[in-house]
Structures are given as C-alpha cells and as structure tokens.
Amino acid sequence: AQKVTQAQTEISVVEKEDVTLDCVYETRDTTYYLFWYKQPPSGELVFLIRRNSFDEQNEISGRYSWNFQKSTSSFNFTITASQVVDSAVYFCALSERYGNNRLAFGKGNQVVVIP
C-alpha cells in the first residue's frame, strides 16, 4: 500500500529565510509519481511540482527546488527566500503507476512566514 509521511507539523521562518519540507514515501510499485501541493487558507489545493520514479534529477523552478532520492525514499521540497505569500499548508503526495491515479497524501506541513 502507498503511504506518505511528513514528520514536521508546523514550521515558522522569518521572511527571506529558506524552508525545507521533508517527505518520505512507501510504495511497492516501480513506477510512481510524487507531487507537492500547496493549500492556502482558501482551501484549494494548488499543484507545485511533480517527479516520476524514473527521473531522479533534481531541479529548481523559480524559488522552488526539490531533492528526490530513491535510495532513501525521500522527496524533499525547499522554498528559497520565503515570502509571506508562501504561508500555507504544503502536502506531499504519491500516485502509483500513473500521474493521474489516486493520490495518497501526507498530513501536511503548516508553513508560517513571519514578516
């Protein structure tokens, strides 16, 4: 069964600091997709990034970057130079076999950016 663990609950940072969110996953499939979603107070989940199990290349997209390591089943996410608008709950999620398959979410990380 697929499982996603996000250990930290609430993280507070001062504006312009970097914040890294940890995610550990479990799956028996060799093909899977990992996602990070952002949930602002409005409640809507906003897609941020996606990675599939065949591509461990780490990338940077604007102020977002991620570190995908299959050896440790981790998919960590970093926001560089945080801004107040980054305050939200961030979820790591996993889907097996296909990117548009059912998602298993972690419990989320509440990020508070202090001006």
Partner 1 sequence: DAGVTQSPTHLIKTRGQQVTLRCSPKSGHDTVSWYQQALGQGPQFIFQYYEEEERQRGNFPDRFSGHQFPNYSSELNVNALLLGDSALYLCASSLQRDTLSEQYFGPGTRLTVT
Q: Name the site residues for partner 1 (rule: CB under 8 A).
A: 4, 6, 33, 35, 37, 42-47, 50, 52, 91, 93, 98-108
Query: How far apart (Å, rounded) are the C-alpha atoms in residues 84 and 16?
Result: 9
The residue count for the chain: 115
Single-letter code of the amino acid located at 43: G
Residue 77: strand pairing partners: 21, 66
Residue number, 31 or 58, with CB nearest to partner 1: 31
User: Within a 10 A sphere around the Cβ of 76, how many other Cβ atoms?
Assistant: 18
Residue number, 104 or 113, with CB nearest to partner 1: 104
Residue number, 19 or 33, with CB nearest to partner 1: 33
